[in-house]
Chain A
Amino acid sequence: MSTSTVLLVLGAFLASAVEMVEALTIVLGVGIVRGWRSTLIGVGAATIVLAALVAALGPALRVVPIGTLRLVVGALLLAFGLQWLRKAILRSSGYMPHRDEDAAFRRQREQAALAGHEERAGLDWYSFTVAFKGVLLEGLEVVFIVISFGSAQHRVSLAAAGAAAAVVVVVGAGVLARGPLERVPENTIKYVVGLLLTSFGCFWGAEGAGVTWPGDELSLLGVIAFLGAFSFLLVRALRRRLALAPVEAAA
């Protein structure tokens, strides 16, 4: 298994894990308060939509020439990955609050308790729609990563397997914990995923634009190291800036 294949599976696994932790919080919040039947039907419906997207788009992208595909996928991964990396740096440096799964869970439960009861097609419509939307929206990011990661290497099934393994792990941990997974270091995982998305985007985008990387696939590790070190320096610089900010304001 090559370096990029290992990183591809790892990226899909971590991205899926962190998004599924957030989806789990929503599903648990609704399911515990309003019952499981409609909630789980909503989860199932969203899962079917997401699986259908991967099954339809994955093979369809095989007909696109690899150079064009890598340019487009690289550009999209860069735009998408930099959003993850940027937010992770802002959180690590203290400019943005960390996501609190426990608070999100409490909020979800309160909203679920306050919502009125409306029945449609034999389902508690609130539970169904909240679970459906929650899983679909969190899952869309995973689908995007699986398709873009997988298609650029013609290995959508491998990326999908990495993402599916994360779903099993997160759901299993959720069942064991019987609550939201608040101890998962979400920001660190998002940081790593952002770094991987941006690095893959850089590697494939440049290849799609006609570049020949020195050292071929090994350059990918060089890009990860460069962007990792640079973002680490940015976190340190921003932390220092934040620490000095009140002093500057008072002076």
Chain B
Amino acid sequence: MKYVRSFALFWWNFVVGDDWRVAAGLAVALGLTSLLTHEGVNAWWLLPVAIALLLAGSLWRETRRAS
């Protein structure tokens, strides 16, 4: 059980990293993009904007903690 936990933790840290909110936000943004596209809206702009906002938010939280 300990090894399974360590293995899962390794992959979580490897892919998700320090800020799980970024990964969750990306999943939501991708889901929204898919939804809009299927509704006939070519939402190419959504993901770059979401990435910019998520990155800025994550850095804001991190630097506020450090200040």
CB distance from A27 to the nearest CB of B (A): 21
CB-based A-B contact count at 8 angstroms: 101
CB interface residues, B 39-67, toward A, < 8 Å: 42-44, 46-48, 51-52, 54-56, 58-59, 62-63, 66-67
| Cβ-closest chain B residue relative to A213 | B44
Cβ of A211 and Cβ of B63 under 8 Å apart? no
CB distance from A82 to the nearest CB of B (A): 6
A4 interfacial by beta-carbon distance below 8 Å: no
A75 interfacial by beta-carbon distance below 8 Å: yes
Cβ of A212 and Cβ of B51 under 8 Å apart? no
Cβ of A227 and Cβ of B59 under 8 Å apart? no
A29 interfacial by beta-carbon distance below 8 Å: no
Cα(A238)–Cα(B60), bound, Å: 9
Contact of A79 among B17, B33, B43, B56 (CB under 8 A): B17
| Cβ-closest chain B residue relative to A81 | B51
- Given A83-B17, A90-B62, A245-B67, check contact A231 B55 (CB 8 Å): yes
- Given A82-B54, A227-B48, A234-B56, check contact A209 B34 (CB 8 Å): yes
Cβ of B66 and Cβ of A230 under 8 Å apart? no
CB distance from A98 to the nearest CB of B (A): 15
Cβ of B42 and Cβ of A82 under 8 Å apart? no
Residue-wise interface mask of A (229-246) relative to B, using a CB-CB cutoff of 8 A (1 in contact, 0 not): 011001000100110010
Which 9 pairs across A and B sit closest by C-beta, in order of nearness?
A210-B37, A209-B34, A83-B17, A209-B33, A211-B44, A206-B47, A79-B23, A230-B52, A245-B67
- Contacts A86-B55, A219-B44 known; list 4 others, CB within 8 Å: A210-B33, A211-B37, A241-B63, A242-B67
22 sample A-B contacts, Cβ–Cβ < 8 Å, listed by A number: A71-B34, A76-B15, A79-B26, A82-B58, A83-B17, A86-B18, A86-B55, A86-B58, A86-B62, A93-B63, A95-B66, A202-B47, A209-B33, A209-B47, A211-B42, A212-B44, A226-B52, A227-B52, A230-B55, A238-B59, A238-B63, A241-B67
Which residues of B pack against A, CB within 8 Å? 14-19, 22-23, 26-27, 30, 33-34, 37-38, 42-44, 46-48, 51-52, 54-56, 58-59, 62-63, 66-67
